[in-house]
Chains A and B, each alone.
Chain A
């Protein structure tokens, strides 16, 4: 009798665990099918899209709960530099780009924990209101722990290793086309400990 009860309990537990794990795996796998890569920038079509079924809805909720609809804003995130290395606060980067075919844009730096880096530099983001392009019609911003002589600066102080940058493009125009050429490029200039 006891053996039978234990067998049923084991069946219930095994079934529940298997169901939960398979659902989690389905969301992880399904999530990657929404990714689009433009150079080093990653865009998830799930963020701000309309749900077409229970799996899509769950993926959207996980990746962009209460996000703006894709008509209102597009989100792109970069986790690596131009040579595929993880972003690190011990390095200095240059971010360059053109103006976008959109009403407004911003780029925000997030620490490895996905929150704003814990510093008092008031340099967590740059945006279209404050950035001007040069004679080559490109703007340049520095990503580093100190501003130095940079005109536009994103502070990576206390962002640690594996920080990221998110580009938000608001009210993109019809001719806005995301591509490796239209999105900004992030170039590593130097790192602490580099041998010159």
Chain B
């Protein structure tokens, strides 16, 4: 190949690679930012109860003032986790998001009136001995999110009390 042709072909090849790299990276980079924000206060494998959404809230765009949020940035590199969501008098749900942003698990109060308890593992065999529902995470890291319907100050404060009993911690097999 002579002249400018090789440079043009090189630019095209790099453009194709950059295109796919960009598409691949968008959800992962955004989730990485979310993981850093969620883990900034209490670190990984611990719930963080978010402040009530007000006009001063600037962390995420179009925040919903309807919910009290508890978020746990999880990391399964040290083994499975026990995740529980204490029941709430109104709508609540527990959602799990992988590091590529996929929402791979959700359970709400219609399915789990008495609250939810799961063992979150990378592989099913890692969670042997678990009496709870075993959920396998597609990625080592991710985010667990509990939403409790709490559209006013009183219900938000009540949700804050309930959220104290939620668990996001290392799984201990029954002996």
- Select which of B22, B23, B57 is within 8 A of A115 by beta carbon: B57
Least distance between A183 CB and chain B CB atoms (Å):
18
Q: Verify B55–A116 contact, CB threshold 8 A.
A: yes
Q: A68-B95, A116-B63, A116-B65 are in contact. Are A61 and B14 (CB under 8 A)?
A: no
Per a CB cutoff under 8 Å, which of B7, B16, B53, B110 touches A116?
B53
A11 touches B10 (CB 8 A): yes
Bound-state Cα–Cα, A66 to B27, Å: 11
Q: Counting chain A CB atoms within 10 Å of each CB, which of B11, B60, B100 scores highest?
A: B11
The answer to whether B151 touches A18, judged by C-beta atoms less than 8 angstroms apart, is no
The closest CB in chain B to the CB of A158 belongs to: B55
Q: Tell me the bound Cα distance from A89 to B168 in angstroms.
A: 44
Q: Is the CB of B26 within 8 A of A27?
A: yes
A12 touches B65 (CB 8 A): no
Binding site for B on A (CB under 8 A): 7-8, 10-12, 14-16, 18-20, 22-24, 26-27, 48, 50-51, 54-55, 57-58, 60-62, 65-69, 71-72, 103-104, 106, 108, 110, 114-120, 124-125, 127, 129, 166, 168, 170-171
Cα distance A116–B64 when bound, in Å?
9
Contact B151 A125 (CB under 8 A): yes
Task: Tell me if A's interface is mostly helix, strand, loop or mixed.
Answer: mixed
Closest to B102 in A: A51
User: Is A15 in contact with B12, judged by CB distance below 8 angstroms?
Assistant: yes
Whether the Cβ atoms of A106 and B55 lie closer than 8 Å is: no
Question: B-side binding surface: helix, strand, loop or mixed?
Answer: mixed
Q: Is B93 an interface residue (CB 8 A)?
A: yes
Q: How many B residues have CB within 8 A of the partner chain?
A: 51
Asked if B23 and A58 make an inter-chain contact with CB atoms under 8 angstroms apart, the answer reads yes
Q: How far is the CA of A19 from the CA of B110 in the complex (A)?
A: 46
CA distance A66 to B70 in the complex (A): 13
Rounded to whole Å, the gap between the CB of B80 and the closest CB of chain A is: 22
CB <8 Å contact, B23 and A15: no
Distance (whole angstroms) from the CB of B114 to the closest CB of chain A:
18
Q: From A11, A14, A55, give the contact of B23 (CB < 8 A).
A: A55
- How far does the alpha carbon of A67 sit from the alpha carbon of B61 in the complex, in Å? 12
Determine if A57 and B100 form an interchain contact, defined as CB atoms under 8 angstroms apart.
yes
List 8 contacting pairs A-B, 8 Å CB cutoff, sorted by A: A12-B10, A15-B11, A19-B22, A54-B20, A57-B101, A60-B101, A61-B30, A116-B55
Q: Give B48 Cβ to nearest chain A Cβ, in Å.
A: 14
- Any A CB within 8 A of the CB of B40: no
Cα-based distance from A72 to B18 in the complex (angstroms): 36
> Within the complex, which residue of A10, A20, A103, A104 is in contact with B22, where a contact is CB–CB below 8 Å?
A20
Complex contacts, B31 vs chain A, CB 8 Å: 61, 65
- Chain A: minimal CB distance from B120 (Å): 17
- Do B62 and A166 touch across chains, with their CB atoms under 8 A apart? yes
Q: List chain A residues, Cβ under 8 A from B162.
A: none
Query: Among A19, A51, A68, which residue has its beta carbon within 8 angstroms of that of B93?
Result: A68
Known: A8-B7, A65-B34, A166-B62. 10 other contacts (CB 8 A): A15-B18, A18-B12, A19-B14, A19-B17, A27-B23, A66-B60, A69-B103, A108-B62, A108-B66, A168-B64
In whole Å, how far is A107's beta carbon from the nearest beta carbon of chain B?
Answer: 10
Contacts of B27 in A (CB 8 A): 51, 57-58, 60-61, 65
Q: Which of B20, B23, B66, B100 makes the CB contact (< 8 A) with A125? A: B66
